Structure 1
Amino acid sequence: MKKLVAMAVPVAPGKTELWESFMNELQSKYKQQFADSRKKFGVRERTFIQKTPMGDLVLVTLEGEDPVKSFNDFTHGQDEFTKWFVEKVNEIHGMDIRVMNQEAMPTLVIDSEG
């Protein structure tokens, strides 16, 4: 049974253009590596931008058999794509996703179907 996890991550002030460039690279130069990475870890990723008066938020959903494990497995990868991805996230969001643990992951609190 597939599960879904969603994360809201603030974009650091002044980093929205850098985030947009990052997304463009993921959709062009790194498109195949991004798709292969998510397939390898058994997860589908969808990313959204939410503009708010308090700043921009990136909303990320991961869907798969165990999306939290997939996230953790990916972030600890040593290949060049993963290192580049983790570095970009740190630069844009000011957070090191390699050190996020189970307690830092979002918790589902309500589901209209369950």
Structure 2
Amino acid sequence: MECITWFAPILPGKVEEWKAFDQSMSGPRREEHERSRKRMGVVREVASLMQTPQGDFVCLFHEGEDLTKAFQTLAASEDPFDVWFRENLVSLHGLTVEMLQGPPPAEVFFDYRGDAA
């Protein structure tokens, strides 16, 4: 299982819109979101708001079997939810589909895992 943490800017003036987008995925669009992540092979996704003097950011954690494939699946999908999700990546974060077509947008340098036993 792979995991990655990364962050993306929330464009100026878009924090409330981002919060509504995020809440819709745990509310009225929950089932669509779950189906999307199953298609992608993502088993865990966490989004946190980080407000800094340099601006607002979403901090993300993704876990899945093959995260490169997961991002590529999202980039290529024509599923209406995935299209809607990508449109929000552009309008809220300035991310593009091209950014999803390669490996995840961050490189892991350190990954501590304590003894699970």
TM-score normalized by structure 1? 0.88
Secondary structure of 1:49 counterpart = strand
Alignment of 1:1-114 (within 5 A): 2-43=1-42, 44-96=44-96, 98-100=97-99, 101-102=101-102, 105-113=105-113
Secondary structure of 2:81 counterpart = helix
Q: What letter is aligned with 2:2? A: K
Tell me the C-alpha RMSD between the 2 structures: 1.5
2 CA distance for matches of 1:34 and 1:21? Answer: 14
Q: What letter is aligned with 1:5? A: I
2 CA distance for matches of 1:23 and 1:61? Answer: 14
Instruction: Give aligned pairs, total.
Output: 111
Secondary structure of 1:78 counterpart = coil
Segments of structure 2 that go 5 or more residues without pairing to the other structure are none
Secondary structure of 2:108 counterpart = coil
TM-score normalized by structure 2? 0.86
Do the aligned partners of 1:77 and 1:83 also contact (CA within 8 Å) in 2? yes
